[in-house]
Each structure stands twice: as structure tokens, then as C-alpha cells.
Amino acid sequence: MASLHLSQIPVATAEMLVRKPVEEVFEAFVDPSVTTRFWFTRSSGRLTAGARVRWEWEMYGAAAEVDVLQLDPNRRIQIRWGDETSGFTQVEWSFTSRGENETFVSVVNSGFQGDGDAVVAQALDSTGGFNMMLCALKALLEHDIELNVVADKAPDAHVRPN
């Protein structure tokens, strides 16, 4: 099969309507006591503009250092995460109020690095991951159900105690 040339670097996009007020949806991402119920398992602190926090997915033995580049309450969160080895990408959440009890959340992950195959694989993986995370957010905020989709995505990859 012939190698394909990319005319532009792909970005990962995920979007979801959450039937809750924008303040509550935004807070779910900045307050780790809520975020740990639908996404990562541990955080070193609350998201604030200019902060660096550490997010952990303990079941996978994975962690990410997260730099908060911008934080506009109830409107936008922009972070940079990654490492020197795999590279850094940016993630931007946009929150659009659609009335008193609806918020449209958009997530865009950009800046993937590597050859064409690697960039496409990263963008596809990120798109799937952020869509899964938004579904878990929706279930939690709208129905108070913890889906555990992040942990259940790859149960064979869980770190086992020795």
C-alpha cells in the first residue's frame, strides 16, 4: 500500500451537549473532586490560570503534567500536556451556555507530532478518548452515574500490584 501524504496535521475534536448549567459543567473540569469521578483518578490540585498540576490514571500507572495556559471561567480552559519523549499537545475546552440548563462542550486536541501514521493514530486515539470522557461526564452530571469507562476501556492494561 502506498504511503499517504497529509496536507495538514489532524486535530482531535469531541463535542457533547450536557443538560446542566454552564457553571456546573465548567466546575466539573476544574475541581478534581468531580473530575476524578469521570476521567482521571488523582490530581495534585484544582485548575487555575498559570498552574501546573499532575493528573494520574492509577489503574494504568500513567500520569501527565498539565500546564494551564488559559482559564476563562465558564467559557474556556486551555492546557498543554505531554513530555519531551512523546511531545506536547494542547487541549482546549470551550463551554457554550445554551440556556439555563444546557451547556455545549467542545474539546479540541492539537499539536500532534511524528510521521503521518503516528499523527493520525494519536488524533484518532485522542478523539475516541475525549468522546468517551464527555459521555462519562454527561452520565455523571445528568444522572449521577459513574460509568467507569476510562478504567474499563483497557482492563488488560491495568497495573497489577506485585
> In the predicted model, is pLDDT for residue 6 greater than 90?
no
Average pLDDT over every residue of 57-68:
96
Position 28 in a domain: yes
Interval 112-162: pLDDT, tens: 998 889 999 999 999 999 999 999 999 999 999 999 999 999 999 999 876
Position 56 in a domain: yes
Q: What's residue 85's pLDDT?
A: 79
Position 99 in a domain: yes
Position 118 in a domain: yes
Domain that holds residue 32: 12-152
Position 5 in a domain: no
Average pLDDT over every residue of 63-72:
97
Q: What's residue 154's pLDDT?
A: 94
Kindly report the CATH number assigned to the domain that includes residue 36: 3.30.530.20
Position 71 in a domain: yes
Position 126 in a domain: yes
d(CA 129, CA 150): 8
Position 115 in a domain: yes
> In the predicted model, is pLDDT for residue 91 greater than 80?
yes
- Count: domains in the chain: 1
